[in-house]
Amino acid sequence: MKYATEEMREGNTTLSLINQRISANKFDTTKIITEQLIQELMEYALKAPSSFNIQHERFVIVRKSEDKEKLKIISWGQQKIADAPVTIIVLGDLDGHKKLPDILGRSVKVGIIDDATATIWTDMANKMYANPSMARDEAIRSASLSAMTLMIAAESKGLVTGPMIGFDPVALKKEFAIADHYVPVMLITMGYSADGNWPQKPRLEVDEVLAFDKGREF
């Protein structure tokens, strides 16, 4: 194990976790994940930021053998779905902003914002997300922020995760009774690691993705 920074040598758990995380393909088929642990991880997933605090993220937990087999077929036969205790269907709600009066009402109730602010934000959000392209971008963005938070939280619990975008979204929605206003953003297979996972793949160098002051061709 190599450490990139002084802090990691000194045991900064968070940076170590981020540094070590891999996208797992091999899962221990003998271990389960409790509903309680899933629910706890969801609390963390909900802590991710989102536009106006809309929290577009929704989660469907696939855990039964017959459902895993169906999901495996929809995902071009990826074996990890059958092996892992659960795969999470991460959805983004295109209509998430419609819950804003309720959501912002909760911030009003605890005194963080006032009623006038809640009304202004709701109006702004309704205007922005009347545009289907903006609503889609936002659903994917928020659900992705939440998914990453979930994966890091899972890692801190000793779990491994395998995010996937290789699946048929139309078949997925049909098979798992997902309404059209939910965009399938990714699948996350989650469980305990088995032998045979790939090491982390090399990343781009920082100077290949970073610019100061102005954009450039990266």
Q: What is the token pair recorded at 32?
A: 């389960």
Contact with its own copies (CB under 8 A) among 25, 27, 38, 187: 38
Min dist. Cβ of residue 102 to its own copies (A): 9
Q: Select 116 or 209, whichever has its Cβ closest to its own copies.
A: 209
Do residues 63 and 35 lie in contact, with contact meaning Cβ atoms separated by under 8 Å? no
Give the span between the Cα atoms of 117 and 145, in whole angstroms.
25
Q: Select 57 or 83, whichever has its Cβ closest to its own copies.
A: 57
Give the span between the Cα atoms of 57 and 59, in whole angstroms.
7
Tell me the per-residue interface mask from 146 to 185 with its own copies, x by CB under 8 A, - otherwise: -xxx-xxx-xxx-----x-x-------x--xxxx--x--x
Contact with its own copies (CB under 8 A) among 28, 61, 82, 119: 61
Q: Look at the block and give the residue holding tokens 């305990």.
A: 192
Q: Select 171 or 178, whichever has its Cβ closest to its own copies.
A: 178
Pick from 191, 173, 174, 190: which is nearest to 182 by CA?
173
Q: Select 28 or 63, whichever has its Cβ closest to its own copies.
A: 63
Judged by CB under 8 A, does residue 211 bind its own copies?
yes
Helix axes 115-128, 100-109, angle to 10 degrees: 160
Min dist. Cβ of residue 31 to its own copies (A): 18
Give the span between the Cα atoms of 16 and 13, in whole angstroms.
5
Interactions with its own copies, residue window 95-134 (CB under 8 A): 103, 106-107, 109-110, 112-113
Helix axes 35-45, 132-156, angle to 10 degrees: 130
Q: Select 43 or 195, whichever has its Cβ closest to its own copies.
A: 43
